Chains A and B, each alone.
Chain A
Amino acid sequence: DAKTTQPNSMESNEEEPVHLPCNHSTISGTDYIHWYRQLPSQGPEYVIHGLTSNVNNRMASLAIAEDRKSSTLILHHATLRDAAVYYCILTENNDMRFGAGTRLTVKP
């Protein structure tokens, strides 16, 4: 069973920021938080990951709550190409379980 909870779908307007939430209340101290996205007809693509501190890269930012029971993926300026299913995943050792993810729709 997936250890994360995400909304089924979200909508955003182009060029606006998007905040994708993820709840992981049973996270353990050694679980990393990973985000992947899957564009239509493609395999999943790595977005970002973190353990305790907030993280930034060229694609997105990851904000991790102080108690680590939730996190938020932030796309600063959504584009049409960001329309995808976004997966929040906890990893510990060999276990990397994808949940249902959040389907992000970006409107022009």
Chain B
Amino acid sequence: KAGVTQTPRYLIKTRGQQVTLSCSPISGHRSVSWYQQTPGQGLQFLFEYFSETQRNKGNFPGRFSGRQFSNSRSEMNVSTLELGDSALYLCASSLLYREILNAGELFFGEGSRLTVL
């Protein structure tokens, strides 16, 4: 079956702009999590959505937001981009949300690489 699909794979923005990234989870998966990966900070959790509701949120400013649609597809938005937002943004899907999925598996996409100039 198809894996987690993220679009776009690469994009370049300038400071102050906003960006929207899309994630289509594996068919049947209802939970989508977003992570930011940078060389300095590694992989950091952004937020998790399950059944269109945000279940958990990491320690990121309000410029980072997300949503999930009824078909489980998810988008994340970053407003007023800063140079430090340059990163690989990874989406992961799972059948259930993490609170009851301690023993479960996350399936990651290949990521969207954002460069902010």
Binding site for B on A (CB under 8 A): 2, 30, 32, 36, 41-46, 49, 51, 87, 91-101
Q: Which residues of A contact B107 (CB under 8 A)?
A: 46
For A42, the closest partner residue in chain B by CB is B110
B112 to chain A, nearest CB (A): 10
Total interface residues in chain B, CB < 8 Å: 23
Which 3 A-B pairs have CB atoms at the shortest separation, nearest pair first?
A: A43-B108, A98-B43, A94-B56
Give Cα A49 to B93, complex, Å. Answer: 17
Q: Which residues of A contact B45 (CB under 8 A)?
A: 95-97
B104 to chain A, nearest CB (A): 8
Give Cα A51 to B43, complex, Å. Answer: 23
- CB contacts under 8 Å to A, within B28-86, are 35, 42-45, 48, 55-56
Cβ contact of A44, chosen from B44, B55, B90, B102, cutoff 8 A: B90
Known A94-B56, A94-B98: A46·B105 in contact at CB below 8 Å: yes
Known A42-B110, A44-B108: A93·B98 in contact at CB below 8 Å: yes
Q: Which residues of B contact A97 (CB under 8 A)?
A: 45
Known A44-B90, A46-B105: A94·B110 in contact at CB below 8 Å: no
